[in-house]
């Protein structure tokens, strides 16, 4: 036999007034129901909680001893109700987001600004980290949701498509290749190339587009931040082969051209596979999609190489 909430509530009220009649009035039940609950609690606990002395009822030492414990139980129940109410209202609680720095700057930050404006009580944590580490944080439930380029199968993470893009060729103004609408591998032979390192998904994909004898050319100038690569290109140091996720929308000081063969990349929304998606997380992902659509629709520059994938219903 287990302790019921009705038994605890009856004893807590009874301990303050020591009257079955008054306890029944406060709990809106019959006096016999209160008596049954009190005796049932005694039987369940195996201790005497109160006794009658003449015309008065008193608590036993054991009854007095468990009152502080009961106060803590009811305090925790109250805290649970408060937290649940906050979760339902979606304007409080705590949300932790893991993101790659390139998309964190222009996409996740913009979505967070909108999201937090309507939720001033929400605790928000943004973890900018490497693509591979984002899956680790989501899998370990350190982060509630992540945004990363890394794809593939992962037993602990559910991946949903968010953005699709293609590798873009970044040229310094005035370069002869700026006259072309599309840049092919053959056009880049002999040029100094600026690209992510081979140990990244993007860097490996770029090198795979080049013939084996020319792949070392892509290793001449490696970068780990798109903003750094754009600055190097603008200074005339080389030609960049980059994903557009980290390029400022309408990157200044450089010229963007399509690269052939097309190398498609995807930003994925990462969620814990074995945990239901909370309304708070679902609403944030929806906000990210809205921001991405607003920022990409009808834009030129880097935005023309990206598009929103999937829908909020997938979350």
The domains of the chain, with CATH numbers, are: 5-89 (1.10.10.10), 94-163+268-296 (3.40.190.10), 168-262 (3.40.190.10)
Q: Output the pLDDT for position 85.
A: 57
Strand 123-128, strand 255-260: pairing: unpaired
Q: How many CB atoms lie within 10 A of CB 62?
A: 14
Burial class (CB in 10 A: 0-12, 13-18, 19+), 72: exposed
- State residue 257's pLDDT score: 95
Rounded (5°) CA angle 218-176-167? 40
pLDDT of residue 145: 95
Cα–Cα separations (whole angstroms), residue 264 to 201, 206, 259: 11, 10, 11
pLDDT of 315? 36
Beta bridge partners of 268: 148, 161
Residue located via tokens 């834009």: 299
Pairing of strands 193-196, 145-148: unpaired
> Which residue is it, tokens 């963007």?
256
Q: Is there a contact between 130 and 81 (Cβ–Cβ < 8 Å)? A: no
pLDDT at 69: 86
Give the residues of the chain that fall short of pLDDT 50: 312-315
Q: Give me Rg for the CA atoms of the chain.
A: 31
């Amino acid at each position: 036999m287990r302790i019921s909430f009705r038994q605890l509530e009856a004893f807590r009220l009874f301990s303050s007034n020591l009257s079955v009649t008054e306890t029944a009035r406060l709990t809106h039940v019959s006096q016999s129901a209160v008596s049954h609950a009190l005796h049932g609690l005694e039987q369940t606990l195996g201790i005497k909680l109160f006794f009658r002395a003449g015309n008065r009822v008193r608590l036993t030492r054991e009854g007095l001893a468990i009152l502080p414990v009961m106060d803590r139980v009811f305090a925790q129940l109250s805290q649970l109700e408060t937290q649940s109410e906050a979760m339902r209202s979606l304007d409080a609680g705590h949300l932790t987001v893991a993101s790659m720095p390139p998309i964190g700057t222009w996409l996740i930050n913009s979505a967070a600004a909108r999201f937090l404006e309507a939720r001033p009580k929400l605790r928000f944590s943004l973890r900018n980290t490497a693509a591979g580490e984002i899956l680790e944080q989501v899998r370990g439930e350190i982060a509630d949701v992540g945004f990363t380029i890394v794809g593939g199968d992962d037993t602990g993470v559910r991946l949903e498509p968010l953005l699709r893009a293609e590798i873009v060729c970044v040229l310094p103004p005035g370069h002869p290749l700026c006259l072309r609408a599309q840049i092919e591998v053959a056009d880049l032979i002999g040029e100094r190339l600026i690209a992510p390192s081979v140990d990244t998904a993007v860097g490996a994909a770029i090198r795979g587009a080049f013939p084996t004898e020319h792949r070392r050319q892509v290793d001449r100038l490696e970068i780990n931040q798109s903003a750094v690569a754009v600055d190097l290109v603008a200074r005339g140091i080389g030609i960049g082969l980059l994903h557009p996720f980290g390029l400022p929308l309408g990157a200044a000081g450089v010229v963007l051209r399509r690269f052939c063969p097309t190398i498609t990349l995807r930003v994925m929304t990462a969620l814990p596979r074995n945990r239901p998606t909370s309304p708070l997380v679902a609403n944030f992902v929806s906000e990210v999609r809205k921001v991405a659509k607003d920022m990409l629709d009808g834009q030129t520059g880097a935005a023309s190489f990206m598009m929103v994938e999937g829908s909020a219903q997938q979350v």
